[in-house]
Structure 1
Amino acid sequence: MSDAASRLAALAGDLLGVPLPVRVRAWDGSEAGPPGPGVPVLVVRDRRALRRMAWRPGELGLARAWVAGELDVEGDLYEALTRLAGLVWERDPQGGGAPAGLPGQAARALRAARDPRTRAAAREVLRLAGPWPPPTPPAEEVRRRSGPLHTRTRDREAISHHYDVGNDFYELVLGPSMVYSCAYWSEGGTLEEAQRDKLELVCRKLALREGDRLLDVGCGWGSLALHAARHHGARVVGVTLSAEQAAYARKRVADEGLADRVEIRVQDYRDVRDGPYDAIASIGMAEHVGAVRYRRYAQVLHGLLKPGGRLLNHQISRRPDARDEEYRVDPFIDAYVFPDGELAPLGRTTATLEEAGFEVRDVEAIREHYALTLRRWVANLEERFDEAARLTSPGRARIWRLYMAASALAFERNRIGVNQVLAVRTPEDGASGMPLRARVWDEHGGD
C-alpha cells in the first residue's frame, strides 16, 4: 500500500473538519502534512493503530495504540500534544464537528453520519485499517472493573496498579527525594530543592513542633514523614495502601535511625483508630477518594484531629463544569494510570471539608508549580527511557511519558489545578490558633 501517509492526512482532515496540524509518517515509510523544521511527526508504525482507533474512537483508542508502540511522536512531544489538544482532548462534544464513530460502535455511527464526505472517509479508514477484529488491549490496561466505587478492596487494587510497579522505576523518575506530588519552586532551584521546600512548607503550615503527632495520609515512600520527624521533631504515623511503598519507607526510616519517631503502616485511612493527632497531612492522596466517599473522608480526618489541630489537604482539582455530576478522570488516565481517580472542583472540596466541621483558613493555588515538576519528571524519564522500560515494561514507560507530559500542559493551560487547603478543627470557643496575618508560616514557621 503506497503513500499511506497522504491518505491518512486527507482522511483525518475529512473526519476532523480541519487539516491535521502535524506531519504523519505511515508504516510504508511515506510522509505527509505540514512541512518545515520544528513540526512534530506523528508516526503510525502499524495499521493495527487504526483498528484500535476505529474500534474505540477518541482517547482510549489512541491510548491503546500509543501504549502498544503502534503510534509514536518524533520531535517535541509537548509541541505535538499542544497542536493535537484542540482536536482530541479539548474538542467540545456538543459543538459539532466531533469525528464520527467507527467500528465496533462503527456500523451504527456510519449509518448515522449525515455528511456523505464524512461517511466516505470513515469507510476508507476501515479499508486502510485492515482485518478485524482489533488487537487485544495492551497488558498494562486495567482489567474491567465492576461493583461500587471506592470500596476498600477496589481502592487497594487501584493503588497497587499505580504504585506497585517497582520502586527503582519511581526512583528514576522522581529523583532522590522520592516525592510524587507537586514541588514548590523558586527561581533557579533544582527538583530536589523544590521538593524539600514543599515538605517544609507543609510542616510550617501545620505549625509542627517537637513531640507533635502527625498523621500522614497516603504517605508514599515516606519523604514527608522523615522530614517532619528529622526537622520538626514530630512523631509521625504514615499510612499507605501500597505494600511496595511501605517497604521502601520503612527501610528509609530504619536507615536514618528514626524508628522511634516514624511508623509506616499498610492501612486504609478509614481504619485509623489511634487519634487524636495534632496535625494531619494529605498530600496528593485525596484524588483517589472519590465523590461518593469524600464526605466520609473529611469526617474521618476531622474525627482524628484534636480540637485546634490542622489539616493540610494538597489536591489536584478540575475546572468546574455544570454538566459534570461525577468527576472521573479521562479514559486514558482511568485505564492506564489512576484507576477510579476523580478530580473535583476546588469549591466542592472546600465545601465538603466545611460540611464535615472544618474551618477552611487558607487556600494556595500552585498549578504552575506542578507543571514545572512534571516537566522535570518527564526529563528524568526521557534521559533514561531504555532503563525505565527494562525496570517495568516498554508500555508502562510510554504511559508515564505521555501522561506526565499531557498533565504538564493541562496545568499550564488551566485545565486542571492543584491547591493546598489549610483547615482547622476549630474548638467550640473559636480559638483557631491561626496567626493574625495570612502566610506567616513562610517566614516564621507558623509561630
Structure 2
Amino acid sequence: MADAASRLRTLAEQLLGARLPIRIRAWDGSVSGPPNGPTLVVRRRRALRRLMWKPGELGLARAWVAGDLDIEGDLYRALGLMSGLLWENDEPGRSKRELAADPRIRTAARSLLRLARPLPAPPPPREEVGRRSGPLHTKIRDRQSISHHYDVGNDFYALVLGPSMVYSCAYWESEDATLEDAQRDKLELVCRKLALRPGMRLLDVGCGWGSMAVHAARAHGVHVVGITLSAEQAAYARKRVADEGLTDRIEIRVQDYRDVTDGPYDAISSIGMAEHVGSEGYLEYARTLYALLKPGGRLLNHQIARRPQDDELAYRVNAFIDAYVFPDGELAPVGRTTAQLEQAGFEIRDLEALREHYALTLRQWVANLEARWPEAVRLSSPGRARVWRLYMAASALAFEGNRIGVNQILAVKPRATGASGLPLRARDWRA
C-alpha cells in the first residue's frame, strides 16, 4: 500500500471533521503531517481493524496496549494535541444512528474498511479485564477487580511509586520537592487533620502497602488496623510492619470494609479507595464508616472526582480505565460525594482540593516508569507497562485540564451535644 500515511490522515480528518494536528507514520514507512512535534506511529494494519471492530476509545486503547499504535516524541504533547479528537469527550454529541447516516462518514468508513483489510476481530490484549458477570460491587467481584489492578507485582509498584510506596496523590510544598518528601507530607497532613494522638485507634481503609499505617503508628503513636483486598499488598505491608518493629501497634488484614466489626475507632482514613465503591454502594460505604466511628471521631476521605456535566451528578465509567486499569471504578462529582456523606450522618468540616498536586505526582510516576522501562516490562509485561504509561500520562493531563480533580474531605461523626471537637481555626493542623 503506497503512502498509507496520507490516506490515513485524509480518512481520519473526514471521520473527525477536523484537521489532525499530529504527524502520522504508517506501517509502509510513509509519513504525513507536520514535520515538527510528536508522531503517531501506526505500526500494523491491525490497529485499523481494532478501530473498525471497537470504534472509539476502547479500540484505540487496544491498539496502544498491543503495540499496534505508538507515539514517538513527547507523549504529553501528543495526548494534548489529540485529546479533543480521539479520546473520550464528555460533551454530548450526535447519536450513533446519526453518525452512521452521515454520507461523509459512511464514505470515509468504507475507505477505512478497504485500507484495514478486515479479518476476524483481533483478540484483545491479555492485559484486558476478562468477562465479568453478576452485579457490580459484590464482595467477590470487588476482590477480583482489586486483584486485577493491585496484584501486578510489588516490585513493579516499587519501581513506579518509589520508596514511599504510596499510590495516591502526594502533597507538594513546592514543585522542587522530591516525591518521597511530598508523599510523607501528604501522610502527615492526613494525620493532622485526623488529630491523631498516642493510644487512639485508626482504621485505614484500603491500606495499600502500609505506608499510612506505618507513618501514623511511628509518628503519632496510634494503634492501626489496615485493610485491603489485595493479598500481595497485605504480604508486603505485614513484612514492612515487622521490619519497622511495629507489630504491637499495626494489624494488616485482607478484609472488605463491609466485614469490619471491631469498632468503634477514633479515626478513619480512606485514601484513594472510595473510587472503587461505585454509585450503588456509596451510601452503604458512608454509613458503614459512620457506624465504625466513635461520636466525635473523624473521617478523612481522599477521593478522585470528575467535573459534572449539564448539572448532573451521575457516576461515570471510562471505557479504557474500566477495561485495563480500574475495573468497575466510578468517578462522581465531589458534590454528590459530600451529599452522601452528609446523608449518612457526617458533618462535613473541611474540603481541600489537590488537583494540581495529583498532576505533579503522576508526572513523577511516569518519569520513574520511563527511566526504568526495560525493567518495568520484565517485571510485568510489555502490554501492562504500556497501559500504565498511557493511563498515568493521560490522567496527569486530565488533572491539569480540570477534567478531574481530587479532594480531601474531613468529616466528623457528631456528638450528642453537637460539639465537633475541632478548633475554631481548624486549619491550624498545617502548623
TM-score computed with the length of structure 1 as normaliser:
0.94
Q: Deviations over 1:165-188 (max 9, x none)?
A: 000000000000000000000122
Shift in Å at residue 130 of structure 1? 1.4
CA–CA distance in structure 2, aligned partners of residues 266 and 91 of structure 1: 37
How far does residue 333 in structure 1 lie from its aligned partner after superposition?
Answer: 0.1
Aligned to 2:160: 173
RMSD over equivalenced CA pairs, Å: 1.4
Q: Partner letter of residue 165 of structure 2?
A: M
Quote the residue 1:105 is aligned against. Answer: none
What count of residue pairs does the alignment treat as equivalent? Answer: 430
Query: So what's the TM-score if we normalise by structure 2?
Result: 0.97
Is 1:145–2:143 an aligned residue pair? no
Aligned partner of residue 419 in structure 1, secondary structure: strand
Tell me by how many angstroms 1:323 deviates: 7.5
Q: Which residue of 333, 353, 357 maps to 1:345?
A: 333
Q: CA deviation at 1:147?
A: 1.6
Q: Corresponding residue for 1:66?
A: 64
5+ residue gaps in structure 1? 102-107
Q: Distance in 2 between matches of 1:408 and 1:209?
A: 35
Counting aligned pairs with the same residue, the percent is: 75
Question: What aligned pairs does 1:275-424 form with structure 2 within 5 A after superposition?
Answer: 275-322=263-310, 326-424=314-412
- TM superposition shift of 1:426: 1.1
One-letter amino acid of the structure 2 residue matched with residue 334 of structure 1: D
Tell me if 1:24 matches 2:11.
no
CA gap of 1:92–1:233, structure 2 versus 1, over 3 A, is: closer
DSSP 3-state at the match of 2:359 = helix
Deviation at 1:417, TM superposition (A): 0.4
Q: 1:183 aligns with which of 167, 170, 188?
A: 170
CA-to-aligned-CA distance 1:274-295 (integer Å, 9 cap, x gap): 0010000000000000110000
Runs of 5+ in structure 2 lacking a partner? none
Determine if the alignment matches structure 1 residue 212 to structure 2 residue 210.
no
Conserved in 1, the CA contact under 8 Å of 2:227 and 2:255? yes
2:426 aligns to what SS in structure 1?
Answer: coil
Per the TM alignment, residue 118 of structure 1 is displaced from its structure 2 partner at its CA by 2.3
What CA distance in whole angstroms lies between the structure 2 residues aligned with 1:313 and 1:378? 25
**CA displacement at 1:109 relative to structure 2:** 8.3
SS in 2 for 1:440: helix
Assess, with a 3 A threshold, how the Cα gap between structure 1 residues 258 and 287 changes in structure 2: closer, same or farther: same
Mapped partners of 1:235, 1:93: distance in 2? 47
**How far has the Cα of 1:259 moved from its partner?**
0.2
Q: Which of 41, 44, 48 is equivalent to 1:43?
A: 41
Distance 2:198 2:89 in 1: 52
Displacement, 1:35? Answer: 2.1
Q: In 2, are the aligned partners of 1:52 and 1:62 still within 8 Å (CA)?
A: yes
Q: In structure 2, how many angstroms separate the alpha carbons of the residues matched to 1:114 and 1:221?
A: 52
Aligned to 2:232: 244
Partner of 1:266: 254
Contact 2:90–2:309, Cα closer than 8 Å, also in 1: no
Deviation at 1:431, TM superposition (A): 1.4
Shift of 1:90: 5.1
- Letter paired with 1:126: L
Quick one: which amino acid aligns to residue 403 of structure 2? R
- Show the counterpart of 2:116: 129
Contact 1:24 1:32 in 2 (8 A): yes
- Measured in 2, the distance between the counterparts of 1:129 and 1:438 equals 61
Range with greater deviation from structure 2 (213-222 or 143-152): 143-152
Match of 1:157 among 119, 131, 144: 144
Matched, 1:57 2:44: no
1:313 corresponds to which letter in structure 2?
N
Greater mean alpha carbon deviation, residues 117-126 or residues 395-404: 117-126
Q: Which amino acid aligns with 2:76?
A: Y
1-side partners of 2:226 and 2:288: how far apart?
15
Aligned residue identity for 1:171 = A
CA distance in 1, matches of 2:29, 2:317: 36
In 2, Cα distance between equivalents of 1:113 and 1:307: 60
